[in-house]
Structure 1
């Protein structure tokens, strides 16, 4: 699955689920957390969070808010994210589940 950012003006949000192979869960957690600070420093990054699902702690939940679709595309093109996209199934038992959001209330 190639992540295709929807067209549109204004901010774009995304949330999704990453369900790791049991033997790769700790490694995936470290990898996802390694993306947090660099992503938050990127132009256009308004929010970037990684969580564990309370009902299913083996599932990681991520939430991102970007100033624009172009900013999100630039983020996904970064080498470490492109590498993860290419090799994500080494870590995951099923592909990423991604949901696109149109923010209606954005904190400046």
Structure 2
């Protein structure tokens, strides 16, 4: 059963360009993962502070776990994005 992740990230104005770049790089890496079905990056319109919404879909929870254990996740998400966020909300769900 497909597994979905929806994340909402908020950051300071001065961090937005770096976070955007890291998320777009993640998109390119993640879309090449064998268990990835979708990885979409959105900038929330007129958000103050800046905000990004991610929609990810994987073949199953194991595919997401492999994604979260990848080198690119560690570099871009754990190393670049998360330390710069002022707020982070993530939802995990099975697709019906």
TM score, norm. by length of structure 2 = 0.86
Larger C-alpha radius of gyration, 1 or 2?
1
Structure 1 ranges of 4+ moved more than 6 A:
none
Aligned-partner Cα distance in 1 for 2:15–2:43: 15
Task: In structure 1, list runs of 5 or more residues that go unmatched.
Answer: 1-9
Contact 1:25 1:91 in 2 (8 A): no
RCO higher in structure (CA 8 A, sep ≥6): 2
Across the aligned residues of Structure 1 and Structure 2, the Cα RMSD in angstroms comes to: 1.7
- 1:25-73: CA deviations, max 9, x gaps? 1010001001112111101100110001125261100000100111100
Task: In structure 2, list runs of 5 or more residues that go unmatched.
Answer: none
Structure number with the higher strand fraction is: 2
How many residues end up aligned between the 2 structures?
Answer: 94
How far did 1:93 drift?
1.4
